[in-house]
Amino acid sequence: MDKNEEFAAEFLTRKGLRPERFSKQEQRRGKTPDFRVYQDTTLACYCEVKSIDEDIWLDKQIAAAPPMTIVGGGRPDPTFNRLTDDIHEAVKQCNAVNPDLHYPNILIFVNNDAKCGLMDLLGVTTGNFFAEGGKRIPIYRWYSEGRIRDEKYRIHLYIWITPRVREQFLFNRRHEGHFIRLCELLQVDPRDVHDSGA
C-alpha cells in the first residue's frame, strides 16, 4: 500500500469502515479498484484512490537544459486532463467488479499539489467555473461533456483529501439510494449536502 492509499484507508477507518485490498490473485485476473469497503462484515462500497501529484514539467526542463538556456513556454493547464484521466481509469476499475452498480463507488483523490483543488474537480464534473456570488460560467464543458460525460455518474462520491489539512466531499445524487447510503456511512446529514449542479 502506497502513502496515498494509506491516507485514504486511514480516513475510511476513522469513519468506522474497514477497507480491504483485493488479493494479488484477484488483481492478476483483471482490473480492480483499490479497496472493498466494509461496514462491520457487510460489503458497503468500492473505493479507488488516485493521487494528485505536483506538476514537474518545468522542473524536468530546467534539469535537462544546458546552462544559460531558456526553457518553459506556454501550454494548456494539465490539471483538467489529469483529473478526467483519473476519473476515466477509476470507472474502468470499478466497472470490473461492480458493473451493475449494486454498491456505491467512491473515488478518493489524495492531493499533493498546492496548485490544484476541489474547485478544479467541480469544474471537470460540472463544466462550470464557480465565480463569486454563486455565478456559474460554463467554461469547462470540453471536459465535463467529453469522454467522462456519462462515466462521471458511475462514481457516487468523490472525496478530496488534502493530507493533514482536510477532507471534502462531492456527492453524485443521480442514484438516490447510493447517496443516502453513503451519507449514512460517512455520518453526513443529507440536508447539509448542496447540489453542485453536476
Higher pLDDT, 2 or 98: 98
CB neighbours of residue 131 within 10 Å: 9
Residue 114 C-alpha cell reads as 498546492
Please give the share of the chain, as a percent, with pLDDT higher than 70.
Answer: 89
Chain segment 66-115, per-residue pLDDT in tens: 777 776 666 666 789 999 999 999 999 999 999 999 999 999 999 998 88
Instruction: With residue 47 as reference, give the H or E element that holds it.
Output: strand 42-52
pLDDT of 178: 97
Nearest-angstrom CA–CA distance, 177 and 181: 6
pLDDT band at 152 (very low <50, low <70, confident <90, very high): very high
Mean pLDDT of the chain: 90
CB 113 within 8 A of CB 53: yes
DSSP 8-state class, residue 65 = S
Chain segment 129-139, per-residue pLDDT in tens: 999 888 999 99
**Whether pTM exceeds 0.95:** no
